[in-house]
Structure 1
Amino acid sequence: MTTARAHRRKATAAAIAAVLAIAGAAGCSSKAKDKDTGKAGAGGVKTDVGVTDKTIKLGALTDMTGVYATLGKSVTQAQQLYVKQTNAAGGICGRQLELTVRDHGYDPQKAVAGYTELEPEVLGFAQFIGSPFVASVKQRIDADKPLVLPQAWSASLLGSDYVRVLGSTYDIETINAIDFLMKEKGLKKGDKLGHVYFEGDYGENALSGSKYMAEQNDLTIVEQKIKPTDNDMTAQVAALKKSGVKAIVISAGPRQAASLVGVAAAGGLKVPIIGNNSAYAPQLLATQAAPALEAMYYVATPALPIGDDAEGPSKLAADYTAAYPKDALDNGVVAGWTAAKTMGEALTRACEKKDLTRDGVDKALLSIKDWNAGFGVHDFTDPNAPSSLESVIIKPDKAAKGGSSVVREPEVSEAAQSFKRS
C-alpha cells in the first residue's frame, strides 16, 4: 500500500469514526448472543445468522439517490425479481428469500450505518455498491463473516473469504480496454494516453492498469483526477487536448463520461474514449451527448450486456421488462441478477451439505468453478483472484436493446494474463 493510499484510508476512517463507534457500542455485546454456533433447523440443516426454518434473509446496500442512482435502481430491481421468481419456485432449502434494501446514496457514513444495521440480521449481502465503502468495512466483514457480493470491482477487495469480486477487477478491465484501443482503435506504442479517474479505490485501481500497459508499451499516461461531485469535464478535456493524447480512459460515473465525451467532441478532441463498466448508462443516449457517445465511446464490462442475443441476456431482458415495463434495460440489471444468482447457487450448495451457516455458505461458494449464470464463466475457488479475467467491449447504440452492442466478445488479453499485482 502506498503512503498516499494509507493517508486516504486514514481520512476515510476518520470521517466515519463516529458511526463505527456507535456500531461498536451497540453491536459488540449483542453479536455473541445473536450468532449461534450452528444449530440444526428444518431438514436437519445447520443455521445461524439470518436463517430460520422458513426464511433466508439477505441484505442490499445500494445507491438509489447518489452518483450511481441509475445503477442502484437496476441492480436492486433485478435482485428483487430474482427473489420473487425463486420464491415462486419454492425458495431455497425449503425457505423463502427476503431481501432488505438500504439506500446509502453513495455517502460513506450512510454506507457504514447500513452495514451496521443489517449485518446482525442477514445471512449475507447480495449487493453492496461502492468500492471505497466495502473497503472501509472489510475488516468488520472478515470478522462478522457474512458473504458479500459487491457491485464493485476494485482489487483492494480481493484476499477475503467473505468479499468476492464478480468478474474482472478494474485494473484487469483497464488492461483489456487499452489492449482493445491498441489493437482496434489506432493507439500505438509511444503515444500519450489520457486517464480521467475518480479519486479513491475505484479510480486508482483502474489507473494501475493503465500504468502497467504504459510500461509494457512505452505509453505516456496523462492523469486527470476528479471527484464524484465533479460533473463538468471541460477543464479535463482542455488539459488532455493540450497534451496531445491519442485516446482516453475514463474511470468514473456515467455523468462524467457523458460530459467528457460531449465536451471532447465539441472541442475537436475526436479520439477514442473507453470507460470502465461503471462509466455508462443507456439513459445517456437521451442527452445531447448521444451522437458523440455513439461515435467515440466504448465501455469495458465483465459480462455480456443485457441486449445480447445469448440465452441468458435474452431471458433476463424479457423477464425484467415484464416486471418493470416502465424502466429501461441496462447492465446494472445484469450485475444485480448475476450477484443474486451466484448467492442463490451458494445457498443451494450449502443446503446440500446441510449447512446454511455463514461459514457453510462461504465454503459452498469456494466450491464453485467454471459456473455460468448466463453472462460469462466464473471461478470462485481462489479468494485472492477475481472470478474472471475476461472483459467484453461494448459501445453505446440507440438501436440496440439495452442501449449497447458488443464490439468485442469476452476476451482476456495477453497483458491481463501476465499481469501481477505488486
Structure 2
Amino acid sequence: MTRATAVVTALAAALALTACSSKAKSDNDSDNGGGDAKGVKTGDGISGRTITLGVLTDMTGVYATLGKSVTQAQQLYVKQVNAAGGICGYRLKLQVRDHGYDPQKAVAAYTELEPDVLGYAQFIGSPFVAAVKDRVDGQDKGLVLPQAWSANLLGSPYVRVIGSTYDIETINAIDFLMKEKGLKKGDKLGHVYFEGDYGENALKGSRHMAEKSGLSVVEQKIKPTDNDMTAQVAALKKAGADAVVISAGPRQAASLVGVAAATKLDVPIIGNNSAFAPQLLGTQAGPALTKNYYVASPTLPIGAATPAAKKLVADYREAHPKDALDNGVVAGWTAASVFGEALKKACAAKDLTREGVDKALLTIDAYDAGFGARQNFTDPKAPSSKESAILKPDKSATGGMTVAREPGASSAAEAYTPGG
C-alpha cells in the first residue's frame, strides 16, 4: 500500500464514523423536501431566499496562492450575481473553510459544511476529494466541482472535473515538447511528481506517451513538503534527461527550473496547470522560468484577449487592487459560473434539490466561460474537455503568462481513455 493510498483509506474510515451524525438532521430538517412560491423544489443548502455553497480551499498550505485567487474570484462571481438579482430569486452565499492542504482538516471541513450547503464550488486537493467521494456518491449527493484534475475522480455524477485530467494534460504537454521543442523518439523524459493522486495520475500520461512515442521516463517522486529540487535535478542530469515534466506546486517548479539553470541542465521544462504562480517571476528563478519553462492549462490565461478575460481582469482589479492576477482567478471564476449555470437550469426544471442540480449539470454540453475551451458535462466518466493550452511565463503580460499554443487536444489525447 502506498502512502497516498494509506492516507485515503484512513480518511475514508474517519468519514464512516462521522457520516451518520452529519446526516442525522436529514429526516427532520425543515429545508429538506420543501419548495418555494414558484413551485421550485428545494432542499439542503437552501434557507429562506439564500443558496449556500461550500468552499474547501487552501489559504495557508502548498497551494495558498492558488487558493486565495480561486476563492476571491468565486466571491466576486457571487457578489455580481447577487447584485443582478441572484439566481431563481435566491441570493448566493459562500461558506469558506481553509484546510491548509492538510488531509485531516480537509475531511473535517467537509463534514462540518455538508449539512448546510447545496454543493461545493471549490474543493482543492485530489487526495482529499477522493477521500470523500464514496460518501458524496452514496448519501450526500451534493455537486462537487474540485480544483483538482485527477482521473481517479471521474465516474461520479456528483464530483465533476472541469477541464482535462492530469494524465490527458500531460499527454498534451509532451505532444507540445515533441512537436515544438525538439523532444524525439529515443530521448529521455524526466518527470518530477508529487506522490498521491495528482502526481501519479500525471505520470500515467508520461508513461503512455513514452510507450506510444518511443521515449523513456526518468521518474522522480517527491512530497508536497519537499521544496528543494537539487537532488532531483542532479538525478535528471545524470540520467541525461532531454526534457522534464513537473507535476507539483509552484515552489517545487521554481526550485526545479532555478537549479536546472544554475547547473546548466538546459532543457525545456513543462508543468501541469497548478505548477506556476506569477509571483515566482519576481524571484531569483524568474529569468530561468521565462527562458525554459512552460505550463499546460485547461484554458487561456487571465491575460487573454477575449472579452470575458478583459472584463474579469478589470472587475478583479477593482475588487482586489493589491493582489496579483493569476490563472487561479480563471479557474475559480469558471467553476463558480459552471455551478451557476447548473443552478439556472435546475431552476428552469423546478428542482433546486441536490439531485436536481446534479441532473441539470448533466444537460450542459458546450459551456464556455470565455477562456477558449468548451466544457461538456454530459458524461460523468469523462472529463469535461480534453483540451489544453500551453502557456509561457512572461513578466510583462497580465497575469504573468502568454499563449505558446492555443487550446486544443492532441491526437494522442483524443485517442486516450482517462485513467488508462
TM-score (norm 1): 0.96
Which region of structure 1 is more displaced relative to structure 2, 217-226 or 32-41?
A: 32-41
Match of 1:85 in 2: 80
- Is 1:250–1:279's contact at 8 Å kept on the other side of the alignment? yes
Q: CA deviation at 1:31?
A: 3.1
Deviation at 1:44, TM superposition (A): 1.1
The answer to whether the aligner puts 1:374 opposite 2:370 as a matched pair is yes
Q: Aligned partners of 2:46, 2:37: CA distance in 1, in Å? A: 10
How far the C-alpha of 1:35 sits from its partner, in A, is 8.1
Aligned pairs for 1:299-338 (under 5 A) are 299-338=295-334
Residue 15 of structure 1, CA deviation: 5.6
Q: Is the 8 A contact 1:42 1:53 kept in 2?
A: no
Match in the other structure for 2:164: 168
1:254–1:296 distance in 2 versus 1, CA, 3 Å: same
Q: Residue 42 of structure 2 aligns with which residue?
A: 47
Aligned to 1:125: 120
1:43 Cα deviation from its structure 2 partner: 1.4
Q: Which residue of 2 aligns with 1:397?
A: 394
Shift of 1:8: 3.7
Once the two structures are TM-superposed, the CA of residue 28 in structure 1 deviates from its matched residue by: 3.9
Among candidates 222, 230, 235, match of residue 234 of structure 1 = 230
The 8 Å contact of residues 8 and 128 in structure 2, kept in 1 or not, is answered as no
Answer whether contact 1:174 1:206 (CA < 8 A) is retained.
yes
Distance 1:246 1:324 in 2: 41
TM superposition shift of 1:37: 5.7
Residue 385 of structure 2 corresponds to residue 418 of structure 1: no
Using the TM superposition, give the Cα deviation of residue 22 of structure 1 relative to its aligned residue in structure 2, in angstroms: 5.1
Question: Is 294-303 or 36-45 further displaced after alignment?
Answer: 36-45
Q: How far apart, in 1, do the equivalents of 2:20 and 2:157 lie?
A: 26
- CA offset at residue 204 of structure 1? 0.4
Q: Secondary structure at the match of 2:260?
A: helix
| Residue deviations 1:363-417 (CA, integer Å, cap 9, x gap) | 1100001111111211000000000000000011001000010010001000001
- Report what 1:256 is aligned to: 252
Q: CA deviation at 1:16?
A: 6.7
Higher mean alpha-carbon deviation, 37-46 vs 74-83, is at 37-46
- Equivalent residue runs for 1:81-230 within 5 Å: 81-142=76-137, 143-230=139-226
Distance 1:9 1:367 in 2: 34
Q: What amino acid does structure 2 have at the position aligned with 1:398?
A: K
Deviation at 1:27, TM superposition (A): 1.9
Letter paired with 2:141? K
2:405 is aligned with what amino acid? R
SS in 1 for 2:47: coil
TM-score for the superposition, normalised by structure 2 = 0.97
Please say if 1:298 is aligned against 2:318.
Answer: no
CA distance in 1, matches of 2:212, 2:369: 34
Judge conservation of contact 2:188–2:243 (CA < 8 Å) in 1.
yes
SS at match of 2:173: helix
Q: Does 1:74 align with 2:49?
A: no
Alignment of 1:348 onto 2:348: no
- C-alpha change, 1:180 and 1:402, in structure 2 (3 Å) is same
Deviation at 1:51, TM superposition (A): 1.1
Runs of 4+ in structure 1 deviating by more than 4 angstroms, as ranges, are: none
What residue number does 2:57 align with? 62
Letter in 1 for 2:41: K
1:365 maps onto 2:361 in alignment: yes
Cα offsets for 1:6-32 (capped at 9, x unmatched): x74244322674x43552353243334
- Name the amino acid aligned to 1:26: S
Instruction: Give the Cα separation in 2 of the matches to 1:334 and 1:122.
Output: 23
Match of 2:272 among 246, 271, 276: 276
CA distance in 1, matches of 2:384, 2:140: 22
| 1:286, distance to aligned residue in structure 2 (A) | 1.0
Per-residue CA deviations over 1:17-65 (Å, capped at 9, x if unaligned) read 4x43552353243334338663222311100101134110000000000
- Percent identity, aligned pairs only, is 71
The one-letter amino acid of 1:129's match is I
2 CA distance for matches of 1:254 and 1:25? 38
2:32–2:44 CA contact under 8 A, matched in 1: no
- Secondary structure, counterpart of 1:178 in structure 2: helix
